[in-house]
Amino acid sequence: RTAADQAQRAEAEARKTEARASAALAEAERRHDALTEAAAQQAETAAAARTTAAETAAAAAAAADPATARASLDSARAAAAEARAAARDATTRASEEERALRGRLRRRQELEAEARDWQRRAQEAESRTAALDTRAAETAAALATAEAAPAAIAAEEAALATQKASAETRLAAAKDALGATETAHVEAARAARAAEKAASDLREGRGRLEAKLEAAREAEAIAAARLSEANLTEEAPDTTADQQTPASTAPSEPDSEDLAKRLEAEIARLTRQRDSLGAVNLRAEQDAAEVAAEREAIVTERADLEAAIAKLRHGVASLNREGRQRLLAAFERVNAEFASLFRRLFGGGEARLVMVEDDDPLEAGLEILCQPPGKKLSSLSLLSGGEQTLTALSLILAVFLCQPSPICVLDEVDAPLDDSNTARFCALLDEMRQRTDTRFLIITHHPLTMSRMDRLFGVTMVERGVSQLVSVDLLAAEALVEA
């Protein structure tokens, strides 16, 4: 905004200067016209004087008195000389006024160009002001987002803590359920084995009972056949015995049938109970052991991962801390060297580097603030081309001084500089050569820079298409000249 106000004031001053120049131009044109008219009158006067001189000469020639004629001729010649001198003076003044008019015209063109330049600068200042306003709005939005970030992070941490507690609760419940399931599985397997054993015993008992029942039925059939063949009337005692025998065996048949029914019912119940238990997993214990081993491995891996994450975070924090310390130390050194070189190149003034956009040095940006002698403190973009070049050279060489190298190559760095700034730049290079052991290689077309070097290397083309390397040792040449 300050730059925009300055540009507007400069534009108004340029307009006033243009108005004054226009008025001066009009006055010069008026004077030029007056002098032109005066020159024309003087020319007419000179012509009239010459005519009078001719007439006087003719009259003198015709007169009888030579002295009178000579006096008239001399007065006519004097009048003609005065007329010619006046004409020359008028012509000289007209030429001077014309030159002054041309100078004012050039000055007017220069003022118009300067006014256009100030208008362009004012437009650039307005666009920069708009960009700064946009950047300020973005910065405010980012600041609001950053201010809201801790609350969001705290809420997220609370949610994560809640999720962690819930996950730990579910994990404990899952562990308890797994233990209960394993216990129930073991009990079920034990009950299944007992049921199978009981069913097997029942099947064996049923087989034995069925065999006894079949034997009893066969014995009954044999006894019935014998009774039908025997004579009951003749052998009463035998009949009685026979009758007593079936009578004694008959009560055992219902008991055997009842026992068989009870056994069948018990077998059916146990079978249903076994079927309700489902298929028996004979690898349950082995699977449980494998699951327990896998769980222990997962728990161990989780602990290792948590330890590795903590170690990595600690390492990253340590690296960031050390990086911030080194960056701040290097920043302070570069800033001090930059300020010193800036004052050396500009013959005064002030310059510094400022971290912007973030408090963390690892995330912050960098802005160059400089104040040449006689100017206000501003950013690098508001300086002229030569001032920007000298400031950039100060920064580059400041970084170079903090970490010198054996060779430094500078390519056309003096192109935007005038002679005085080029002389300062060469003096700075001489000083840096004395402070360090660096060899400076400069690619340049500036005669002043080449005259300050120790050795020159160039390429010349004496013949068309044939290049030749030329080397001149200026120190040796200077010693030779002095000798």
Q: For 421-459, what is each residue's pLDDT tens digit?
A: 888 888 888 888 888 888 888 898 888 888 888 888 888
Q: Show the tokens assigned to 156.
A: 């997220």
SS3 state of residue 231: coil
What is the structure's pLDDT at 89? Answer: 77
What is the structure's pLDDT at 249? Answer: 43
Please state the rounded mean pLDDT for residues 169-176: 75
Which uninterrupted H or E stretch holds 212?
helix 66-229
Given a contact cutoff of 8 angstroms between Cβ atoms, the answer to whether 472 and 459 are in contact is no
pTM over 0.85: no
Burial class (CB in 10 A: 0-12, 13-18, 19+), 182: middle
What is the structure's pLDDT at 38? Answer: 72
Tell me the per-residue pLDDT of 95-108, one tens digit each, with 9 for 90 and over. Answer: 777 787 777 788 77
Q: Which of 10-24, 115-129, 211-225, 335-349 has the highest mean pLDDT?
A: 335-349
- Average pLDDT over the chain reads 77
Tell me the per-residue pLDDT of 12-25, one tens digit each, with 9 for 90 and over. Answer: 777 787 777 777 77
More confident residue, 394 or 380: 394
Looking at the predicted structure, is the pLDDT value of residue 338 above 80? Answer: yes
CA dist 106 and 132 (Å) reads 38
Query: Which residues lie closer than 8 Å to 394 by C-beta, 6 or more apart?
Result: 338, 341, 342, 344, 345, 351
- Above pLDDT 90, what percent of the chain? 1
Looking at the predicted structure, is the pLDDT value of residue 478 above 50? Answer: yes
More confident residue, 175 or 417: 417
Tell me the per-residue pLDDT of 357-376, one tens digit each, with 9 for 90 and over. Answer: 777 878 888 888 888 888 88
Given a contact cutoff of 8 angstroms between Cβ atoms, the answer to whether 475 and 469 are in contact is no
SS3 state of residue 282: coil
What is the structure's pLDDT at 58? Answer: 66
DSSP symbol at 476: H
